[in-house]
Structure 1
Amino acid sequence: MLSLVARLVFTVFTVLLVLGLMAVALVTVLGLVLWSLLRGRKPVVDLSGFARARQFRPGGAARARPAGEVVDVEAREVPAVTPRLE
């Protein structure tokens, strides 16, 4: 019985926490939109990330295009410098 009550209390607190965080996010977004409108700037809504996510296919990026030209890098040895005490 005590376990059920504890689980119910934790569930209620979790729901309240999530709703509180969503309210803070909403107030922040509305505040930023109002601030930009007061300053005479049109609020910019960038939804391009959602468009890219909609077109995402797992494993598709590796097959989409070849890697291109491979360039060899010549390795150089960097001499170790002994620290000087001054």
Structure 2
Amino acid sequence: NGPAVTYYLGNHPEIAYRIAQKGSVGVAIELGKIESNLGKPSPSPTTSTAPEPPNPISTARGKTDRKIDDPDLTDKQFKDMRKKQIAAR
């Protein structure tokens, strides 16, 4: 797995420098160690032992009743509210 070892050594120049100082047998041993570590799958994250969060009391959101004379109403909201008022007569 040469490309993976090369990438690892490129990201860890201190290790590459240390390996370069060794003889041919030492280089082979060190590269073998790196290759064996790169082949191992990374450990999976541990799952939390925390309990499940409690269910909400209510998922319904409160509805705010707006008055027809609310100055913040858009024109469309005003028209819709006025139509409902007329239909309720």
**TM-score interval, normalised by the smaller of the two chains:** under 0.3
More helix by share: 1
Q: Which has the higher contact order (CA 8 A, sep 6+)?
A: 2
TM superposition score normalised by structure 1: 0.24
